[in-house]
Amino acid sequence: MYKRKIFVFVAGLVAVATLLAACGPAPTPQVVTEVQEVEVTRIVAGTPEVVVVTATPEPEQPSEGPTAIVWWSHWANEPTKRVVIEKIKSDYEAEHPDVKIVLTWWDKNPMRDALRNTMTAGEGAPDITSDFCLPDEVAAGWCLPLTDVLPWENFVPGTKEASSYAALGYPDNYKYDIGLSMNMIFYNKEIFEELGIQVPDNYQFTQDEWVEISEKCSAAGYAGAADAIGNRNYPARFPVWFALFSLVGPEEFNKYYSGQQSWDTPQIRQVLDWFVQLRDAGFWPSTFSTMTIDEFHVYFHTQHKACTLYIPSWYAGRAFKPVEQGGQDPNWHFGMLRYPLMDGAVAADMLYVGYESGYHVTSATRHPDIAKDILVFASQPKYGALWTAVTNIPSAIVYDPVKDWPSDELLTELGVVPGQWNWFWEEYNKVYGGLQGGQAPTPLCDKFEQAWASAINEGLPLGLITVDEAIEMMDANLCK
Amino acid sequence: MEAKAVASTKLSPQTGESGTRRRRRGWVHSSKPWGAIALFIGPVMVYYGVFIIYPVLATFYYSLLNMTPTGGRIVTTFIGLGNFQRLLNDGIFIQAVKNTLRWGVVGPALEMLTATTLAVLVYFKVPLHRFYRTAWFTPVLVSGVIVGLVFRWVFNVDWGLLNVALRAIGLDRLALNWLGRRDTPLWCVIFVHYWATFGYSFILLLAGLTAIPEELIEAAYIDGASTPQTVMKVMLPMLRPTFVTVLILSFMGKMRTFNVVWALTGGGPMHSSETVATYVHTLAFGQQSLDLGYPSAIAVGWFAVVLVSVGLINRWLSRRVEQ
């Protein structure tokens, strides 16, 4: 009898304790004495390490000590970008011993879900985070204005305006940008030479020449372009995007791109008909529908199975890493091309310039001044130079190449081989140097974004729909 | 509890208590230990309430709302059945429903046919039956995501196992881009999910066959029935109750499955393999919208469809079993 009572008592105690532990409120992240390291799983050995977060960081225990700032960032699989952000973090902590930054690396989609959940729940959200859909986040009140905070004079012209959504009723500026994103076209020099394709002096083929190139490549067993939609809803849009931008110029392109203007126009038909011609000429790899974004990078730079690659400048983030981590051989040099010269193009000498993902301060922060100060700190020209030197991606922060460029010692310390990718910049300056940059900052509405994905990313390249059907789909989902 | 009641009854004659009082005291003192029961069941019930009942009720509630980020906050508006009206005009949803229903009919039929045949073969101990039993059940143990990824490679147009095999035997014309067309991805999904799950139905049906009294089967043989006749006239009719359960489980599985589809095709291309489950996920998490009202309405609507469908199947098959 006694045993039974004791058993019931102990079991009940355990059950109640478990229940209370599960239902008890989680400690609020605030001040800490011993900052907990975020638990990570290392998936790649060596430097720089690639880490993927296995769980949402545990909240800090409130107590005396440095103030903890939680910073969420994607780019978990882009080690060079991580190196720069981690350097900013360590520099800030060195100058501010009273602050401890808990930096967490995510893949983009899980981070987006976690951010949405924590912001909606009102608990567990970070102080600083990558943006994933800034217009909606701004509209939901999740972003603190940075208008009077960031030293905008440190950024390239247009950066401030691009972080504002005045047309949607939100005139403040919300986003810290460290990287620019430029749409570029690469080509495989060896394959071009093998097939006898001569690059024009101005690095620009006409739209008809592009079709011929695709035919030649396809006949020789190469894809016209390394591109695929296995795990992204946008890569096949690039040829349409670049051609349309070149044909109609930034302002008109902006209207088409963001669903403000009907697609039933001669310009759109010209681009989409050309897009179909490319497809029929063997432009896409046979594995177009299943290859992932990382795979089609390798398809281009290591397997040498495609003649060209349409890609924004974030190519370097994935490709310029050690070969053993899936990066390209730095001794293999590709060439660059300007956008196809479309018949009647009004912006043939322009380059599309946008922005990489950036950061914003969330409204959930308990330390807005510190969080903002970190982004101000990160706006220094030396970090723009560091970004460019380490990631080989142009920076949105203006810097003096002589004064601000990181020393070879620092680069070596960060795992970068100084000068390894100089050929890339020489080619970049040769082909794109002097071109005028244009951008399209207007955000897309969700249904038009889906139409882009469905009609242009999948339907037309796979031959599932006609040009008329694609235009009909786009027009049926306009944002206006 | 019974032991306690008996002990109490035995004691009462010694205390001279009346029968009524004995019963009352027996009820009071020998009753179930409600405190302990509550302690044990309580946490589970709280868990069930918080993580099952509450989300279900919340989904029903959200399905009546529209959530729009505007003016610095997420504005929640009660729109009644507005989300359900929108469903009727949503072409992608209608496509997803068609795909899911097609799967819900073809998938279980294929699964029941194969699983029943194989269960009968193993029951009659065909050579290597022990190996078959393990081999056919093994795919059930593999995660749906892994199955999806593996078959994504199998269906690869260039170097996938299927096309390599077709080319090797001279059927190059049949080496299609299985996941990049409009007409084949759904059938690939149906096949892959069938491959991954039919072992479960097989094991249940085999257990059902094993439960049939051997005397009945022996009696059939004594009466001169052949093996096929015994199977058709004795064993399969006896298997019907199991059959109903397995069919309903199979059907429900098709209505809800997400991981295999997501890993294999992502619902594409152009929604050609979109199912209701993948569409809800896309709307709720895959898009930029912060509105959970519409995806909740789809979930609620689909819950009703599945509930009614399962009820009808159950009723129809149960009647046949009774007959």
Query: Residue type for B308, please?
Result: V
* Segment A297-319 mean pLDDT: 94
In a domain, A193, yes or no: yes
- Cα angle A390-A101-A23, degrees, rounded to a multiple of 5: 135
Among B39, B74, B156, beta carbon nearest to A290: B156
* Segment B283-298 mean pLDDT: 84
How many domains is chain A partitioned into structurally? Answer: 1
* Segment A204-208 mean pLDDT: 96
A-B CB pairs within 8 A amount to 93
B142 and B248 both lie in a single domain = yes
In a domain, A22, yes or no: no
Q: Do B177 and A289 touch (CB under 8 A)?
A: yes
Chain A residues touching residue B180 (CB < 8 angstroms): 288-290, 462
Domain extent at residue A321: 181-353+441-475
- Residue B81 binned pLDDT confidence (cut-offs 50, 70, 90): very high
Share of chain B above pLDDT 90, in %: 63
In a domain, A346, yes or no: yes
B215 and B110 both lie in a single domain = yes
B16 and B145 both lie in a single domain = no
- Residue A167 binned pLDDT confidence (cut-offs 50, 70, 90): confident
B16 and B138 both lie in a single domain = no
* Segment A250-257 mean pLDDT: 91
B96 and B207 both lie in a single domain = yes
In a domain, B119, yes or no: yes
Q: Which residues pair with A51 in a beta bridge?
A: A42
What local confidence, expressed as pLDDT, does residue A90 receive? 97
B168 and B253 both lie in a single domain = yes
In a domain, B288, yes or no: yes
Among B69, B157, B272, beta carbon nearest to A140: B69
How many domains is chain B partitioned into structurally? Answer: 2
- CA separation for the pair B200, B257 (Å, rounded): 15
The ipTM assigned to this model is 0.73
In a domain, B53, yes or no: no
Closest residue in chain B to residue A443, using alpha carbons only: B288
Lowest mean pLDDT among A38-42, A327-331, A432-436: A38-42
Q: Do B152 and A290 touch (CB under 8 A)?
A: yes
Question: If DSSP codes are grouped into helix, strand and coil, which group holds residue A184?
Answer: strand
- For A136-153, letters b (16+ CB in 10 Å) and e give bbbbbbbbbbbeebbebe
A interface with B, Cβ–Cβ < 8 A, is 8, 11-12, 15-16, 18-19, 23, 109, 113, 116, 120, 132-133, 136-137, 139-141, 169, 229, 231, 286-290, 446, 449-450, 454-455, 458-459, 462, 464-465
pLDDT tens, position by position, A261-270: 999 999 999 9
- CA separation for the pair A150, A478 (Å, rounded): 34
| Cβ-based neighbour number of residue A448 at 10 Å | 20
Label residue A198 exposed, middle or buried (CB < 10 Å: 0-12, 13-18, 19+): exposed
- Residue A4 binned pLDDT confidence (cut-offs 50, 70, 90): low
Question: If DSSP codes are grouped into helix, strand and coil, which group holds residue B111?
Answer: helix
Question: E strand or H helix at B76, and its extent?
Answer: strand B73-78
In a domain, A467, yes or no: yes
Chain A residues touching residue B287 (CB < 8 angstroms): 446, 449-450
B14 and B89 both lie in a single domain = no
B interface with A, Cβ–Cβ < 8 A, is 33, 35-36, 39-40, 42-43, 46, 68-74, 152, 155-158, 177, 179-182, 266, 268-272, 285-290
The residue that leads in pLDDT, B217 or A109, is: B217
Q: Do A446 and B33 touch (CB under 8 A)?
A: no
pLDDT tens, position by position, A390-415: 999 999 999 999 999 999 999 999 99
Closest residue in chain A to residue B270, using alpha carbons only: A454
Q: What is the pTM of this model?
A: 0.78
- CA separation for the pair A277, B86 (Å, rounded): 38
Label residue A154 exposed, middle or buried (CB < 10 Å: 0-12, 13-18, 19+): middle
* Segment A318-338 mean pLDDT: 92
Candidates B290, B292, B294: best to mutate against A (most CBs of A within 10 A) is B290
8 Å CB contact between B235 and B215: no
- CA separation for the pair A111, A104 (Å, rounded): 10
Closest residue in chain A to residue B185, using alpha carbons only: A289
pLDDT tens, position by position, B150-162: 999 999 988 899 9
8 Å CB contact between A54 and A23: no
Chain B residues touching residue A17 (CB < 8 angstroms): none
pLDDT tens, position by position, B83-106: 999 999 899 999 999 999 999 999
What local confidence, expressed as pLDDT, does residue A28 receive? 33
The residue that leads in pLDDT, A301 or A4, is: A301
Domain extent at residue B8: 1-25
- CA separation for the pair A277, A264 (Å, rounded): 19
Q: Do A446 and B182 touch (CB under 8 A)?
A: no
Q: Do B36 and A11 touch (CB under 8 A)?
A: yes
pLDDT above 80: residue B20: no
Which alpha helices (H) appear in A185-288, and where do they start and end?
189-194, 207-219, 238-257, 266-280
Question: E strand or H helix at B220, and its extent?
Answer: helix B214-222
Q: Do B269 and A464 touch (CB under 8 A)?
A: yes
B205 and B293 both lie in a single domain = yes
The number of angstroms, rounded, from the C-alpha of A181 to the middle of its chain's C-alpha atoms is 8
Chain A residues touching residue B177 (CB < 8 angstroms): 286, 289, 462
Mean predicted lDDT score pLDDT of chain A: 85
pLDDT above 80: residue A284: yes
pLDDT tens, position by position, B64-80: 999 888 877 888 899 99
Q: Which residues pair with B44 in a beta bridge?
A: none
pLDDT above 70: residue B3: no
B178 and B313 both lie in a single domain = yes
For helices B91-123 and B129-137, angle between their N-to-C axes, nearest 10 degrees: 160
Q: Do A449 and B288 touch (CB under 8 A)?
A: yes
- Residue B323 binned pLDDT confidence (cut-offs 50, 70, 90): low
* Segment A270-297 mean pLDDT: 94
Tokens of A397: 């922060």
- CA separation for the pair A139, A451 (Å, rounded): 23
Mean predicted lDDT score pLDDT of chain B: 86
B269 prior amide bond cis, ω within 30: yes
B21 and B109 both lie in a single domain = no
Rounded to a whole number of angstroms, the distance from the CA of B57 to the nearest CA of chain A is 18
Strands A180-187 and A306-312: antiparallel
pLDDT tens, position by position, A339-395: 999 999 999 999 998 888 899 999 999 999 999 999 999 999 999 999 999 999 999
In a domain, A210, yes or no: yes
- Residue A27 binned pLDDT confidence (cut-offs 50, 70, 90): very low
B89 and B12 both lie in a single domain = no
Chain B residues touching residue A133 (CB < 8 angstroms): 288
* Segment B296-317 mean pLDDT: 90
What local confidence, expressed as pLDDT, does residue A9 receive? 53
Could you tell me the CATH number of the domain that includes residue A330? 3.40.190.10
pLDDT above 70: residue A111: yes
8 Å CB contact between B58 and B284: no
pLDDT tens, position by position, B23-54: 555 555 557 888 899 999 999 999 999 999 99
In a domain, A220, yes or no: yes
In a domain, B36, yes or no: no
Question: What CA–CA distances, in Å, run from B83 to A153, A295, B100, B169, B280?
Answer: 47, 40, 20, 52, 13
pLDDT above 90: residue B10: no
Share of chain A above pLDDT 90, in %: 63
In a domain, A199, yes or no: yes
Long-range CB contact pairs, B70-76, < 8 A, 24+: B70/A139, B71/A139, B71/A141, B71/A169, B72/A139, B72/A140, B72/A141, B73/A140, B73/A141, B74/A120, B74/A140, B74/A141, B74/B290
Question: If DSSP codes are grouped into helix, strand and coil, which group holds residue A238?
Answer: helix
- Residue A435 binned pLDDT confidence (cut-offs 50, 70, 90): confident
* Segment B209-238 mean pLDDT: 91
pLDDT above 80: residue A168: no
CA-based nearest residue to B293, from B50, B73, B85: B85
Closest residue in chain A to residue B43, using alpha carbons only: A19
Chain A residues touching residue B40 (CB < 8 angstroms): 11-12, 15
What local confidence, expressed as pLDDT, does residue A46 receive? 28
Chain B residues touching residue A449 (CB < 8 angstroms): 287-288
pLDDT above 60: residue A36: no
In a domain, A250, yes or no: yes
Question: What CA–CA distances, in Å, run from A34 to A60, A65, A90, A93, A121?
Answer: 9, 8, 17, 15, 26
